Structure formats: structure tokens, C-alpha cells
Amino acid sequence: MFQLFALVIAVFTGIVFLPSAYALEAPVAVSVEEEEWYPPSVGPLTTWTAPFVEPGKLLIQPFVFYNRTRGTFDADGHYNKLPKGDRQSQYQEQLFVEYGITDNLELSGQVVYQQNMVKNEEGKAHARGFGDSYLYLRYLLNAESKLLPDIVGMLQVKAPTGKYQHLDSAKLGTDSMGTGSWDPGIGFIMTKRIKPFILHADAVYSFPQKVQIDGVNTRYADYLCYDLGVEYFLPKGFNLMFELNGYLQADTKQDGEMIPSSNTEYLTLAPGIGWSCDKLQFLLAYQRVISGINTDANDSVVLTGAYTF
């Protein structure tokens, strides 16, 4: 997975810094000075975008996810289909907001409400509630030029607002809504225009803090999230989107002891189609977990829209 992450970043870097000798045959990177080409869009599904909202403006972006689990990836990365008759699904509603403080500084946050459903040989269960919440502070480190992309630094923290202990065994795990830990993190985001494409990439490294779960001192390992997204713009406000999203986390410790095979990895892909105007943007996407370790194999349909006040 780390090799894949390195390959993703290398591909992004190679596209952004195309040699000038190739410029006659490939799309030309459009500099801010040459042309103000920045078509509106909601951006990729998960990948961060570098551009900020204007100072004093507020962007509101709801998401609606329907997740269906088709199987699991075990500790060796092998896929196992759910047993016949088993069902596992989730509805998730997210609300993401951005507020522009200055041209170079932005504050944003996200809350999640989810409904989890399970049916298996042990029975049938359903639970709903808030998940963990996020707060982000982003700062523009470098404005896009002819050669360099927009580069943004980001500080984030995950707050444990979702239920994580005193779970009801009759709920079959559906009432688990969060991890219980405060997770500060740091990340970087890049965006580059190469008309008619806009390329996005990010990497965020998080440091979970120790938490006591039902009397057990628990320490989740640090984790890395990385994303690569590409938008292709069509006439009349339409655009196509494709992205890859990765996650890497080592084993968990409980009362100082490492829990074997508690590490998690996954890689998802997501194509989508969007429509946008200056004030309002929409995106409909399909997301699929294509590989992983100790994780569910999910298929998801996602609808999101954004409006700026």
C-alpha cells in the first residue's frame, strides 16, 4: 500500500511538471496570469481541493451515502463474500461547511449522522446516531503558477462524538458509531489546472490519543489517508470525476499489549458525474472498496451538493 501511495504521488507530480518539450502534444498547464479558467464544481467525492471560499463567505455541502457491504477482506487481504442471507448496510448523512477567514485562511468542519443495519445468523439489528466529528484549519502555502500547483497545509482534529462504548450486544455492533479517541492530524493538499482537467491530491497523517473503552486502555495506531482526484470538464456545466482513496493503519494496543491482525488498510475507487453553476454544484458518484486488510468490502452510491452564501 505504501508503494501504491508513492506511485500515486509520483503520477500526480509527473503530470503537473510536464517537460516543456512535450507541451505541444499534451494539454498545456494554464497559468493564473494567462487565463482565469476555474470552472465551478463540487470537486471530487473524498479528495480535498485546494481553492478556498472567499473571505466572509460560507459554503454548505451535504452528503448522502448508501453503503452496502458485499463481503470482507481478511488479515491476508483475501476477499470473502458475505454468507448467503446475510445483509449489512448503512445510510449516512454528512454536513460539511467551509468559512473563508482571509484569502489564505479557511475554517471548516463536518458532522455525521448514520443508520446501521445488520441481518445475519444471530438475528437482525438496527441503530442510528451521530458519528465522530471533524474540525479543519487550512492555510494557503503556495498559489498556483505556471509550473507549481496550489499547495495548502491543513491542521485537523477528530472529536469522539459517536458512541464507542457500553454497546448493546443485541444490536450486533450496529450501535458502534465512533472510535472514542481524539485524533489530531496534519496534511497537505495540491490542486493543478491543466485545461480541460483539474488534478487534486492530498495526504493526511493522524495521531489518535489514548482512550479508555469499557475500562480497557486503548491506543489506536497512527493512520494515513491519501487521495488522488481528477476532474474533466464538459460543456454546459457538466464534468466527469474519478478518484482513488487509500487508508493505512497499524495494529491497536490494549492495556499496552499489541492486538494481532488489528491493522486496517483499504483502497477505494470512485467515478462520478457532476453539474455546476456559479452558486450551486452537484455530484453523483459510485464508490467501491477494491482491496483491503481487515475491512469491509463496500459499494456506495453518493449524492452531494454545495451552495455558497
Residue 12 confidence (pLDDT): 44
Residue 3: burial class (beta carbons within 10 Å; 0-12, 13-18, 19+): exposed
Neighbours of 232 (CB within 10 A): 12
What tens digit of pLDDT does each residue of 109-151 get?
999 999 999 999 889 999 999 999 999 999 999 999 989 999 9
N- to C-terminal Cα separation, the chain: 40
Q: Where are the domains of the chain?
A: 2-308
Please enumerate in sequence order all residues whose Cβ is within 8 A of that of 54, keeping only pairs 6 or more positions apart, or say none.
100, 103
List Cα–Cα distances, 262 to 14, 31, 293, in angstroms.
35, 46, 9
In contact, 302 and 92? CB cutoff 8 Å: no
DSSP state of 46: S
What tens digit of pLDDT does each residue of 145-199 get?
989 999 999 999 999 999 999 999 999 999 999 999 999 999 999 999 999 999 9
Q: How would CATH label the architecture of 2-308? A: Beta Barrel (2.40)
